[in-house]
Structure formats: structure tokens, C-alpha cells
């Protein structure tokens, strides 16, 4: 189920952001703006007389009807108004794996190749051949963006995409229900989450909501499951599936235990249907019918839509993904913007990317000013800006510790690695295999896919390996919850 109805989705395929009639009515203003903007951005380049339309594959756009979609639409309208360059905004399928299939197919057929492409943070290795190197063209923008973030889109020295929307995994919770059951703050550990989920679930069912569950998460066969399961196993000390030095570490007792724990949630605090929930099904299920107390989602959706909407903000809070016995970790997500190597409009495509990145940076600055005046002293964990990312620089508290999926080390093999991992974890969740056997055969499969060697995860290596932030030991889990110990967006 999508928030955006099917007709909107289909319409999006055919309607460009800039309609011809609109261009006619603002012709003079458009030409003037295009001239001025081109002088600023490309002072030494010739201005094209013909109106150009570029295509933009945006992995976010078709998925929701929140403020995020409006921001995306409005930004493109502003761009067209300023430059005279029309942008055809192409929606993509719902899941990350399907998006990758589509983008790769389009990029490999030169005739259909979109000009600007959203590139998930895990795709640079997979798509590096099809995308051009942006480094020589975006020096100014790159100097403002977090260097680790830039590194996650760089393959063998080539900048495949420029960071645009970064994201991290978070736990959403129902503030009203925590209050109802006497909790002053959300859970810090998986153990606390289990206790709270059971109690709230029993209470809500006793009050008449028979289909209420404690905890929902995306357990369908998709990239969302890789992100969730990686957090579970890092929390227990089970490593990063493949470590940064290429050690295949997934077959270890801590990872196995973390999968078993998640399997145990199903039918206890999570509905059986959780194994068919994709990200957007799960988020819709949490926000709208309100049938669960906790939900593991992504921070950006909250930052962009929930926190400025008082009716939802009063009911839904966001906090760290819970910690296990070893660490607390949140998966890094998000996407950057890349240009197809066979684009025939690279100048215009670069203009669009510059424009979007500048707008994003402006928005982050405005939000950060607003937060420092009005809110608790947070830094935005999803900011791409250099100065906002590093909490050590500004003395602010990080919301979470961020861990990257093993896409850099797996390179072009990442998709196969992730599909194998998803299959193994799901076989445990569905009760089709025992966790130790699933981990052992996954290990063999990863050796076949990558040619790397198996070995143990090194907890000591974890903090050095994470590309953004660190993974550290959590505070010991307290029996009772204490609001002051939490980072919690108001």
C-alpha cells in the first residue's frame, strides 16, 4: 500500500514538472532568469537558445505525499523558473531492489538513460561504470559537505554521486501510549523495548483493540530488512556481515542470536504479517491505523514531515534504535545525485544538481538555526553539511551511532551480498531454517559471491570501520527508563 494513489503514480510518469503552457506564460521572466543564473553558474559557457528538458529519476518522489514530495516538486519548479530548463520528474518503483533494477536498466540503454539519477548510498559500486565522475565539477559544493559522506559515494577515486539526502535508522514510538502505561521515556535497549511492547500490547488489547501489536518493522524480502538486521547483529557484537577489510564475519554466535531474537518477536510482539511488510507498508501501518507502539523507520521522514505537524508530533516520537549487549547502531541510508555517462545534457544536469544541493544546504542551515533557538540542542543526524555532521565540532549530542552497510567493500557485488543476506535472515524469521545453519550457508554463499575469506567480527575494529560516526558501548541498561538519558526529538 502506498500513500500516493495509483493514479498519481501513473500521472507522474507522463507529466513533467514544467508544463509547456507555464513556460509560455512566463517566457520573458524565464529567459531573463536563465540568463542570469547561467552567468552565475557557468559564466564561460554558451547559453542554449532551445529550451532543454532533462529527466530526473528520483527514488523518493513517488513514494509519499508528505512535505518531502512537495519540497521536491517545488524545488524543481523553482529551478525551471530560474533557468528555463524543464525537468521531467520520473518516479521509480517502491522498493530499493526494484529501483536498482530499473535504474540500471535505464542507464545501460543509452537511448533511455535518464540525465540525473538518485543513487542510493549502497549503489555507487554497482553503478559506477554508468555514471560520470562529478568531482571536477562540484569543488565548491564538496567543500561544504561532510567528507565521510562524500567518501561513501566515491569508487576508486571517482565521485559517482554527490550526497543529497542522507538518512539513519531510528525507532518511532507512540508518546501517548508511553504516557498511558507510565513510561517517561522510550526504550534504550532491545530488552526494554520487549518489556514495554508486551505491556502496551496487552493493555491495548484489553481495552478492545484486538489487532494491536507492540513492534512493527519491515521484514519483507527487501533492502529494509538488511538495514534492520544489521542493526540487530551489531547491537549484539555480531559484526557487519562483511568487515571493511573483506573478512566475511556473518557466521558467528552473536549474529545468530540476534536473528533468533527477532524471530522470537514474530507472533509475540510483532504480527506474523511483519515478514511481508515493505518499508512503506510498515510506515503506513504505524502512522495511520496506529496499531503498534513501536516502529523502526528512517529519521528523514520524521524530520521532514512529522515534527512540523503538531497533531502527529504530539503523538509520535523518535529516538535511537535500541542497543544490545555490545553497542547501539543505526544504519546509514539516503541517496545522492549522479549523472548518466550517456546524458546529452550534462551541463543542464550539473546545473540541476548544483541547484538541488544548494537548496538542501540552505534548508539544513535554516533548520539548524531554528533548532538551536527553539529546540533541544540536537544536531541533525541526517544533515549532509560538514559542520552539522560532526557533533564533536559543535559540542552537540549525537542522536545515534551510524553504521554503513558493507557496500563499499562489496563494490559491484553488493546487491548479490544483500540478496543472499536477506534470504538467510528471512529463512530464520519464517522458521524455514535454524539460525546456525542459515548463517553457515550464508557464509559459503558470500565466499562464492565475493571471493573473500571468512573470519570473526572484530568488535575492536568496529569504531574505525564505520564511515560515519562510531559504534560504542551503550550505557548499561537501566531497569527503569529515565527521560534525561535519551535523545528524543520533540
For residue 454, which phi and psi values (nearest 5 degrees)?
-75, 155
> Alpha carbon of 64 to those of 56, 59, 114, 288: distances in Å?
17, 11, 22, 13
Among the residue ranges 186-194, 221-229, 257-265, 387-395, the one whose residues contact ligand GLC (CB under 6 A): 221-229
**Number of residues binding to ligand GLC, judged by CB under 6 A:** 13
User: Which is nearer to ligand GLC, 152 or 343 (by Cβ)?
Assistant: 152
**Beta carbon of residue 178, minimum distance to ligand GLC (angstroms, whole number):** 26
**Binding segment (CB under 6 A) for ligand GLC, from list 152-160, 223-231, 374-382, 392-400:** 223-231
92 vs 251, which CB is nearer to ligand GLC? 92
Distance CA 91, CA 372 (A): 35
Which position among 227, 424, 425, 439 is part of the footprint of ligand GLC (CB under 6 A)? Answer: 227
Give the span between the Cα atoms of 118 and 161, in whole angstroms: 8
* Least distance between ligand GLC and beta carbon 226 (Å): 7
Least distance from C-beta 351 to ligand GLC, angstroms?
25
CA 232 – CA 322 distance, rounded (Å): 9
Residue closer to ligand GLC, measured from CB, 56 or 212 = 56
122 near ligand GLC (CB under 6 A): yes
Shortest separation between residue 95's beta carbon and ligand GLC, angstroms: 7
Q: How far is the CB of 454 from ligand GLC (least distance, A)?
A: 25
Minimum distance of ligand GLC from residue 277's CB (angstroms) = 11
Q: Which residue, chain included where needed, has cell 514495554?
A: 196
Residue showing the smallest CB distance to ligand GLC in the complex? 333
Query: Sign of the C-alpha dihedral, residues 365, 370, 376, 381?
Result: negative
Q: Is 219 an interacting residue with respect to ligand GLC (CB under 6 A)? A: no
Nearest to ligand GLC of 212, 298 (CB atom): 298
Identity of the residue, 167 or 348, whose beta carbon is nearer to ligand GLC in the bound complex: 167
Q: How many whole angstroms separate alpha carbon 134 and alpha carbon 344?
A: 15
Residues 378-397 that bind ligand GLC (CB under 6 A): none
Buried b (16+ CB within 10 A) or exposed e, 299-321: bbbbbbbbbeeeeebebbbbbbb
Instruction: Kindly tell me the burial class for residue 234, based on how many C-beta atoms sit within 10 Å of its own C-beta (0-12, 13-18, 19 or more).
Output: buried
Binding flag, residue 224, ligand GLC (CB under 6 A): yes
Which among 11-19, 119-127, 179-187, 478-486 is the span making contact with ligand GLC, rule CB under 6 A?
Answer: 119-127
CB 222, min distance to ligand GLC, A: 6
If one asks whether residue 121 binds ligand GLC (CB under 6 A), the answer comes out as yes
Binding mask 298-337 for ligand GLC (x = CB under 6 A): x----------------------------------xx---
For ligand GLC, which residue of 58, 141, 223, 415 counts as binding (CB under 6 A)?
223
Site for ligand GLC in 250-279 (CB under 6 A): 279
- Rule CB under 6 A: say whether 61 interacts with ligand GLC: no
Site residues for ligand GLC, 144-173, by CB under 6 A, read 167
Contact 65, 72 (CB under 8 A): no
Which residues on neighbouring strands pair with residue 316, listed in sequence order? Answer: 174
Distances (CA, A) of 238 to 165, 186, 190, 233: 28, 24, 15, 5
Interface pick for ligand GLC out of 58, 64, 94, 120 (rule CB under 6 A)? 120
Shortest Cβ 96–ligand GLC spacing (Å): 4
Interface residue list for ligand GLC (CB under 6 A): 96, 120-122, 167, 222-224, 227, 279, 298, 333-334
Amino acid at each position: 500500500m502506498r500513500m500516493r494513489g495509483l493514479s498519481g503514480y501513473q500521472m507522474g510518469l507522463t507529466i513533467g514538472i514544467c508544463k509547456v503552457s507555464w513556460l509560455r506564460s512566463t517566457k520573458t521572466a524565464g529567459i531573463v532568469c536563465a540568463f542570469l543564473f547561467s552567468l552565475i553558474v557557468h559564466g564561460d559557457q554558451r547559453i542554449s537558445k532551445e529550451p532543454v528538458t532533462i529527466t530526473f529519476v528520483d527514488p523518493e518522489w513517488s513514494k509519499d505525499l508528505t512535505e518531502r514530495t512537495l519540497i521536491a516538486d517545488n524545488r524543481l519548479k523553482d529551478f525551471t523558473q530560474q533557468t528555463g530548463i524543464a525537468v521531467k520528474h520520473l518516479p521509480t518503483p517502491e522498493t530499493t531492489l526494484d529501483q536498482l533494477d530499473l535504474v540500471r536498466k535505464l542507464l545501460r540503454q543509452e537511448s533511455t538513460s535518464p540525465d540525473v539519477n538518485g543513487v542510493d548510498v549502497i549503489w555507487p559500486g554497482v553503478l559506477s561504470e554508468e555514471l560520470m565522475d562529478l568531482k571536477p565539477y562540484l569543488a565548491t559544493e564538496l567543500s561544504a559537505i561532510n567528507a565521510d559522506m562524500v567518501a561513501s559515494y566515491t569508487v576508486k577515486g571517482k565521485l559517482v554521486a554527490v550526497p543529497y539526502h542522507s538518512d539513519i535508522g531510528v525507532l518511532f514510538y507512540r508518546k501517548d501510549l508511553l504516557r498511558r502505561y507510565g513510561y517517561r521515556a522510550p526504550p534504550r535497549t532491545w530488552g526494554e523495548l520487549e518489556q514495554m511492547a508486551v505491556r502496551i500490547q496487552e493493555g491495548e488489547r484489553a481495552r478492545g483493540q484486538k489487532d494491536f501489536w507492540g513492534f512493527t518493522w519491515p521484514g519483507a524480502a527487501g533492502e529494509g530488512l538488511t538495514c534492520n538486521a544489521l542493526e540487530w547483529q551489531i547491537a549484539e557484537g555480531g559484526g557487519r556481515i562483511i568487515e571493511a577489510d573483506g573478512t566475511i564475519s556473518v557466521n558467528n554466535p552473536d549474529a545468530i542470536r540476534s536473528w533468533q531474537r527477532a524471530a522470537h518477536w514474530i507472533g509475540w510482539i510483532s504480527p506474523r504479517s511483519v515478514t511481508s511488510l515493505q518499508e512503506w507498508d510498515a510506515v503506513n501501518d504505524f502512522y495511520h491505523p496506529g496499531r503498534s507502539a513501536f516502529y523502526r523507520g528512517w529519521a528523514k521522514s520524521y524530520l521532514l514531515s512529522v515534527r512540523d505537524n503538531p497533531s502527529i508530533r504530539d503523538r509520535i516520537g523518535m529516538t535511537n534504535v535500541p542497543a544490545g549487549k555490545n553497542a547501539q547502531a543505526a544504519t546509514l541510508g539516503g541517496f545522492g545525485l549522479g549523472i548518466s555517462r550517456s546524458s546529452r545534457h550534462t551541463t543542464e544536469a550539473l546545473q540541476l544538481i548544483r541547484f538541488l544541493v544548494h537548496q538542501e544546504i540552505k534548508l539544513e542551515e535554516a533548520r539548524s538555526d531554528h533548532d538551536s533557538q527553539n529546540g533541544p540542542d540536537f544536531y541533525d543526524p541526517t544533515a549532509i553539511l560538514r559542520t552539522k555532521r560532526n557533533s564533536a565540532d559543535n559540542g552537540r549530542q549525537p542522536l545515534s551511532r551510524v553504521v554503513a552497510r558493507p557496500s563499499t567493500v562489496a563494490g559491484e557485488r553488493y546487491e548479490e551480498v544483500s540478496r543472499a543476506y536477506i534470504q538467510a535472515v528471512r529463512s530464520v524469521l519464517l522458521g524455514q531454517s535454524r539460525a546456525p545453519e542459515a548463517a553457515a550457508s550464508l557464509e559459503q554463499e558470500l565466499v562464492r559471491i565475493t571471493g573473500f575469506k571468512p573470519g570473526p567480527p572484530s568488535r575492536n575494529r568496529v569504531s574505525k570501520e564505520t564511515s560515519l560516526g562510531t559504534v560504542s558501548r551503550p550505557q548499561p541498561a537501566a531497569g527503569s527508563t529515565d527521560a534525561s538519558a535519551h535523545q528524543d526529538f520533540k
